[in-house]
Amino acid sequence: MPPPPTLKISEIFPSVQGEGLRQGEPTIFVRFAGCNLRCTFCDTKYARSGGTDVTFEEIAARVAAVRRHYPAPWVVLTGGEPYAQKLGALIRRLRADGLRIQIETNATIYRPWPADWITVSPKPPRWSYDPRFRRRADEVKLVVTKSLTPAVVARLRREFPARVPILLQPQSNASWSRVRARRLLEDALRDGLGNIRVTVQLHKIYDLP
């Protein structure tokens, strides 16, 4: 009999969602290993390759074990790049266990998975993404690197529905990036662009993983 299919994971841990509109909510993170991009500012470089092979049943069992002492209602599937692997069976199983699912993605690979919240985070230098995410995104999260310009923010604002917020997230909470985020927000305001806001990475302030 062939061995059961496995997924490559980096880590599973309880924390608080530190980014985006779900910021502050207790959440269990399932971090998948492997990514199709190589961003210089990546703060999870350890998860871009390697990883451990685990069946989706074992991931669900590990999440259930975490929930016995940390009964968070949300699971975030993150990476690495979660859409680079086949997570459909895992998502169905976690939802059957009563969990709400958020996916954080660089949005270059699309799959029509059910999820309760999808965070689309296009990356420099092209800030490109699969256009099918336009109808699926619940938020667009942009790391404020030196290459994030008012023109890029304006383009993404035009491309995504007005109901989808665009979040300007300073790179590693750095002061230069916070200044840049504020300027980008002011430029957007002056250009009449709506539903854009600045954020921070809350988990770093709380010293959480």
Question: Which stretches of the chain bind ligand SF4, using CB under 6 A?
Answer: 35, 37-39, 42, 44, 48, 79-81, 106, 123
Judged by CB, which is closer to ligand SF4: 61, or 126? 126
Amino acid identity for residue 137 in this structure:
A
Judged by CB, which is closer to ligand SF4: 106, or 199? 106
For 9, 32, 116, 183, 194, the CA distances from 168, given in Å and listed in that order, are 28, 24, 22, 10, 13
Token pair belonging to 33: 């290993």
Q: How far is the CB of 191 from ligand SF4 (least distance, A)?
A: 27
Q: How far is the CB of 84 from ligand SF4 (least distance, A)?
A: 9
Residue 166's DSSP bridge partners are 140, 196
The residue whose two tokens read 């209602």 is: 73
Whole-angstrom distance, CA of residue 42 vs CA of residue 143: 10
DSSP 8-state symbol, 3: P
Judged by CB, which is closer to ligand SF4: 119, or 193? 119
Q: How far is the CB of 198 from ligand SF4 (least distance, A)?
A: 19
Q: How far is the CB of 48 from ligand SF4 (least distance, A)?
A: 6
Q: How far is the CB of 41 from ligand SF4 (least distance, A)?
A: 7
Judged by CB, which is closer to ligand SF4: 55, or 110? 110
Residue 59: partners with Cβ closer than 8 Å, 6 or more residues away: 7, 9, 12, 30, 90
Amino acid identity for residue 184 in this structure:
L
Token pair belonging to 99: 């969990």
Judged by CB, which is closer to ligand SF4: 84, or 185? 84
